[in-house]
Amino acid sequence: MTQPDLRSMVRGAAGILAEAGVPSPEHDARALATHLLDVPHLAYAPAELPDDFRADFAALVDRRRRREPLQHIVGHAAFRHVTLAAEPGVFVPRPETEVVAQHGVDAALAVAAAGREPLLVDLCCGAGGIAVSLAVEVPGARVIAVDASPEAVALTRRNHAANAPEDGAGVRVEQGDVRDPALLADLDGTVDVLVSNPPYIPPDAVPNEPEVREHDPDLALYGGGADGLEVPRAVVLTARRLLRGGGVFVMEHAEVQAAAVRAITSAAGFVDVTSFTDLTGRDRGVRAVAP
């Protein structure tokens, strides 16, 4: 089997994925082919393809056609400057959260520029995208990551080990519930930056995308309460307790929750409470400062 055969198969796979409603069929078809061939780009594919490539590729395309997340099929997800292992049972990191992480990184770098080693916390860490990015992008930072899911805790530890800078201070990962008033009590009033992408979907707002609805764990999706903001409210209160004066709080939320989240954050005593937009210009996060 030759390179022209490969290009033809990838085009055919993209057509199959498009018919199935996959949002990025061409990208995903290429990603499945490069994963199977273990090359970074189709340009690096061997001139002669393995004899079993056609059957194996068809099997992967069928999994994606049935809307199994691409990240689960290939086993990893790109997030900012790192590659994270992705697996069933743990929330798949997504591009919009990269913007949330950027706000945390910027705030942490400002602390470092002032001559202090930043103490950073990632609540509801999932696969560890934010925590690992903070550790990689903010030299000398101390990072603590927390999630209620033991699977997420284990995966964050693995992702940190796979991406940790040689001179990094490391990431402390703990299992815990943000609604616990004693969570990280040893850090009360000492944290410089706290970032969170908590579950926030209301119970009646089932996600449209099968990749999310059928494969991401409910624990990572639904925020509790009629408005989905039970867990985010707990995150806000925990942030208020942990952050030092002048510390920065950053949290992702749904677009329709922007006003409510600003109100919750202000009521907790934060100042300079503002919304920020995601890659599509929608209000998807809040940034605030502890007084």
pLDDT, tens digit (0-9, with 9 covering 90-100), for 222-251 = 888 889 999 999 999 999 999 999 999 999
pTM listed for this prediction: 0.91
Residue 59: pLDDT band by 50, 70, 90 thresholds?
Answer: very high
Q: Is residue 167 scored above 70 in pLDDT?
A: no
Which is nearest to 146 in space by CA: 192, 103, 106, 187?
A: 187
17-45 residue pLDDT tens? 999 999 999 999 999 999 999 999 998 89
Q: What's the rounded mean pLDDT across residues 179-194?
A: 97
CATH class of the region 88-289: alpha beta
Q: Among 269, 241, 226, which residue's Cα sits nearest to residue 180? A: 241
88 carries a ligand binding annotation: no
Q: Is 202 annotated as a binding residue?
A: no
What pLDDT does residue 196 have?
Answer: 98
Q: String of b and e for 63-99 (b: at least 16 CB within 10 Å)?
A: ebbebbbbbbbbebbebbebebbbeebbbbbbebbbb
Does 139 count as an annotated binding residue?
A: no
44 annotated as belonging to a binding site for a ligand: no
Judge whether residue 207 has pLDDT over 90.
no
Mean pLDDT along residues 254-271: 96
Residue 169's pLDDT is what? 59
Residue listed under structure tokens 């290429």? 30
165 is in an annotated binding site: no
The span from the CA of 61 to the CA of 58, in Å, is: 5
What number is the average pLDDT over the span 161-177? 81
Q: What distance in Å separates the CA atoms of residue 204 and residue 221, rounded to the nearest whole number?
A: 12
Contact between 287 and 103 (Cβ < 8 Å): yes
Looking only at the bridges linking them, the beta strands covering 171-175 and 191-196 are unpaired
Q: Give Dmax over CA atoms of the chain in angstroms.
A: 65
R_g of the chain computed on alpha carbons: 21
